[in-house]
Amino acid sequence: DAGVIQSPRHEVTEMGQEVTLRCKPISGHNSLFWYRQTMMRGLELLIYFNNNVPIDDSGMPEDRFSAKMPNASFSTLKIQPSEPRDSAVYFCASSIGRAGEQYFGPGTRLTVT
Amino acid sequence: AQKITQTQPGMFVQEKEAVTLDCTYDTSDQSYGLFWYKQPSSGEMIFLIYQGSYDEQNATEGRYSLNFQKARKSANLVISASQLGDSAMYFCAMREAYGQNFVFGPGTRLSVLP
């Protein structure tokens, strides 16, 4: 069975550029989560969706970050404009229901120079 | 305030021995879930085990067991018969029924020695 799919796996971009990260959750999972992991701050929840609806985006650092989930099988996390402090590994995870265990994608390693 | 505390930044264990990774949590909810994840050096996050706050039995999954002490608000992970492949970061996480959705601890780096 396919797990959570994320693309790209690695992204290197220059400061000021737009970055779009993509996620395909596990089929049948109705909750989707975006996380950011850095050495300094650990693993932080950015936003989560339930049935394609954003439920809690309080972890989104600022207006430069936006996330969408147009359908049950696809979500994007966009950073515009990107800054060097956005460099991190971004994980997408999905679960059956908000309370279920989350299954993580392989992550996207973002480097902003 | 820290919701999840993992006091051991790093642990060493001899191969084939058992090891306990500590996790304490803070919540005022009566209904919550506790999770452990493994992150090897390759970077992926692997779900290991789950304990619900109302579960009377400690959760077990193969060589993993969760020592759940509700009154002490601790949910320690026990790995029996350690293997070299167990070397990784281990994260404790909590999902509350209300309030903040899902929070991870800072992690414990486990190194299994041959």
Q: What span, in angstroms and rounded, lies between the C-alpha atoms of B94 and B97?
A: 10
State residue A79 phi and psi, 5-degree precision: -125, 120
Predicted confidence at residue A1, as pLDDT, reads: 64
Predicted confidence at residue A35, as pLDDT, reads: 96
**Cβ-contact A97, A85 below 8 angstroms:** no
Average pLDDT of every residue of chain A:
93
Average pLDDT of every residue of chain B:
92
The amino acid at A35? Y
- A45 closest CB neighbour out of B37, B46, B101: B101
pLDDT in tens, A53-102: 998 888 898 899 999 999 999 999 999 999 999 999 999 999 987 677 89
Q: What span, in angstroms and rounded, lies between the C-alpha atoms of B21 and B5?
A: 11
Strands A74-79 and A65-71: antiparallel
pLDDT in tens, A30-47: 999 999 999 999 999 999
Q: Establish if A49 touches chain B: CB-CB under 8 angstroms.
A: no
Size of interface A-B (CB pairs under 8 A): 40
**Cβ-contact A43, A32 below 8 angstroms:** no
User: Which of B23, B45, B95 best tests the A interface by mutation, with the highest count of A CBs <10 A?
Assistant: B45
Instruction: Give whole-number Cα distances, B100 to A8, A63, B52, in Å.
Output: 29, 21, 17
- B102 closest CB neighbour out of A33, A42, A109: A33
Residues B91-95, mean pLDDT to the nearest whole number:
94
**Cβ-contact B79, B18 below 8 angstroms:** yes
Residues A4-8, mean pLDDT to the nearest whole number:
97
Residues B82-96, mean pLDDT to the nearest whole number:
95
| CB–CB contact A104 B103 (8 Å) | no
Q: Which of residues 50-109 of A touch B (CB under 8 A)?
A: 55-56, 89, 91, 93, 98-99, 101-104, 106-107, 109
Which residues, 6+ apart, have CB-to-CB distance to A81 below 8 Å? Answer: A15, A16, A17, A18, A64
- B43 closest CB neighbour out of A33, A42, A89: A89
